[in-house]
Amino acid sequence: MAESTDTDQNVDRDGRQEIDVSVIIPAYNCESLVEETIRSVTSQEFLDQRLEIIAVDDGSTDATFSVLSRLSELIDELTVFTIPNSGSASAPRNVGLDHARGRYVFFLDADDKLAPNALRRLVTVADDTNSGVVLCKLGEFGSQKRASNVPTQAFKKTVYEVDYIDSKAYTTLGALKLYRRSILQENDIRFPLGYTIGEDQPFAMEAYFHSPHVSILADRVYYWARGRDDGTNVTSQGQSARKHYLKIKTLIGVIANGPETGSRRSTLLRRPLTANAGVRTVFGKPWLLDFGRDERQKMVTEFQELITPLWNDELRASGTLESQLLIDQLAAGDIESLEAISNSMANNEPIPLKFDESQSQFFYQSARGSQFDNLNLKLNTRGQAIWRTGSDLHLRGSLGIDGDSRGPDTAQMVWTHRRDSVDKRFTVDLTHTANIGEGGSVQFEVAIPIDQLDRPGEWDAFVEASWGTFTLSSRFGKSKAPSINTSPTFVGSPVCAAIIYTRFGNLTIDVGPTQKYLSPDNTGIAEVAGKLTLFKNEVATLRGDLEYFAGAKVQSSKRTQLIDAEFVKYSGDCASVVIPRSVFKHGPYIISLIDVEGNLHTIDDSSSKRISLRQLRHGAS
């Protein structure tokens, strides 16, 4: 994308130099940080300095306003305003918009900073593409973790002139973007007041609605977001369920009144409705605690009117069980069922479900007798023990659906070849289970003959359970008892398979193995506990973690060549290496152990202690 080379001294209708971009900075209690933020703007490479900075202090109780006032005397581009404390970034941003003169506006938080040349690149792209909104990649800095993560889904690659839904731009509704100011002015787009977190979501959504298209810059970080733990930034403070309710209603209202219909509208509604930050943040655990009965009834009436024309099968299918049932009851105006579900969630209890034997499906029966099916159910599995006998892998665990009082009829463990999608099925033993446990789970055991996984590669473990013809499947291994050792286990001699837990915590068997799982060149795994001369050889006794070692090599101090040495393992933590005379007669030597994958591990040979044959035998017993 070519950068603008415009050198004209453009002026506005009042004879003042035209401003390309107004940078609006809401500021609250950030006296030690705000100067760095301002300097990151003044150091931008910008043609003819055609930018302005509008900082609005939101009634800070520290010296933030004094710092900004001092900086305004030094920086011509900086204008400072102050307002009584409003408690969120909305009011100061709106004040900034009221005074902005730029063709574009960019919102920058007072504790963050811009990367070099960010604004020039953003404005150039906006001009060249006629984009109404230009999104830029964010990165994190600072010694502390941010209260919320920077968005990533929309920033897989740089794209120009794209639809805001197709490009996933709608997944990031933060204010930290470049906006064409005429779109905001002509459509009276402002930040809503009354709540603290999420106030930028309806603002960004409306800007998307009125933009011909958007562009996304993902080639580098343009905006650096600071991690703070001083408790003064509003995001870390959270907000009440009442404010969450206002946030959700506002965003739903903007979407409902917007231009999108059908599947596109349902896609946008997932955030305030079925996502984790949607209705469950209000009507779940907090509802009975934070609202009285009269207020709850009013909320149900309000929400029923709002949601009934929007709630459809496509949107419902995107929700979790909890969000499905909460919105079902809201759409039905059923306050009694809502209170029952909220009570279950508040007490971390499963929502009780029933099973229709004739239809082979689960359903929720409301207080009014209505049945709600087509539920998004999850098969919960947990590993409790894992062990081997020969080439058989044994697993013990639990499985079930939260809220089910019936239990599955049958279950299988399914091993799926990751590359070829070939399945191997093994029947799970449920016969020893007498009762349904807490949370609707039952116990199971299964034995897996590893030699039946007869194709090299990674085989992933799944559990499949059936209630009549209704079947659910789940990856196995992530939930497990703390006593389970997740270190790789090797099968066979020579090794023919590795039993591993993936980086996501799930159980996999790598037949071959096709990958390496032990770290080469580790030191400190074992040490020489003692040495003795036996006939013409020297025997070094080893102590340490020796479970996965199968051989040894030695190297004399006079030669670089590694020589095979006899390796005798007595147990998982005791072994010996027999060093030929041709090696030890030259003085100090190096011992390298060979693990089952062929990696070499040099061990500590600092000990010169010599022990007797009797001591060696005693140590190996």
Spatial distance between the Cα atoms of 452 and 612, rounded to a whole number of angstroms: 48
- Considering 7-11, 239-243, 300-304, the range whose residues carry the highest mean pLDDT is 300-304
pLDDT of residue 439: 62
Q: For the domain with range 21-237, which CATH number is right: 3.90.550.10, 3.40.50.300, 3.40.50.261, 3.30.70.1450?
A: 3.90.550.10
Instruction: Give which of 371, 382, 388, 273 is closest to 320, Cα–Cα.
Output: 273
Q: Per residue in 63-109, pLDDT tens?
A: 999 999 999 999 999 999 999 999 999 999 999 999 999 999 999 99
Q: Per residue in 384-402, pLDDT tens?
A: 999 999 889 999 999 999 9
- Stretch among 72-76, 124-128, 421-425, 582-586 having the lowest mean pLDDT: 582-586
Domains 380-511 and 526-620 equal at CATH topology level: yes
pTM: 0.82
Architecture of the domain delimited by 380-511: Sandwich (2.60)
Q: How is the chain split into domains, by residue range?
A: 21-237, 241-372, 380-511, 526-620
Average pLDDT value for residue range 47-51: 71
Average pLDDT value for residue range 297-322: 96
Within a 13 Å sphere around the CA of 325, how many CA atoms are in the beta-carbon half?
A: 29
Instruction: Indicate if the pLDDT at residue 2 is higher than 60.
Output: no
What pLDDT band is residue 603 in, cutting at 50, 70 and 90? confident
Spatial distance between the Cα atoms of 236 and 146, rounded to a whole number of angstroms: 8
Spatial distance between the Cα atoms of 275 and 378, rounded to a whole number of angstroms: 16
Give the number of other CB atoms < 10 A from CB of residue 294. Answer: 8
Instruction: Give which of 450, 455, 344, 362 is closest to 400, Cα–Cα.
Output: 362
Which of 348 and 9 is assigned the larger pLDDT?
Answer: 348
Average pLDDT value for residue range 354-374: 95
Q: Where are the alpha helices (DSSP H) in 257-334?
A: 262-269, 280-283, 285-290, 293-307, 313-317, 321-332
Instruction: Give which of 275, 109, 271, 131 is closest to 176, Cα–Cα.
Output: 109
Angle at 611 between CA 605 and CA 617, to 5 degrees: 105
What pLDDT band is residue 544 in, cutting at 50, 70 and 90? confident
- Considering 229-233, 336-340, 578-582, the range whose residues carry the highest mean pLDDT is 336-340
Q: What's the mean pLDDT when you consider all of the chain?
A: 89
Which of 547 and 424 is assigned the larger pLDDT?
Answer: 424
The answer to whether residues 535 and 581 touch, using CB atoms and an 8 Å cutoff, is no
Amino acid in the structure at residue 507: L
Instruction: Indicate if the pLDDT at residue 246 is higher than 80.
Output: yes
Task: Assign a CATH topology to domain 526-620.
Answer: Immunoglobulin-like (2.60.40)
User: Percentage of the chain with pLDDT > 70?
Assistant: 90
CA dihedral (384, 390, 391, 397) in degrees, to 10, reads -10
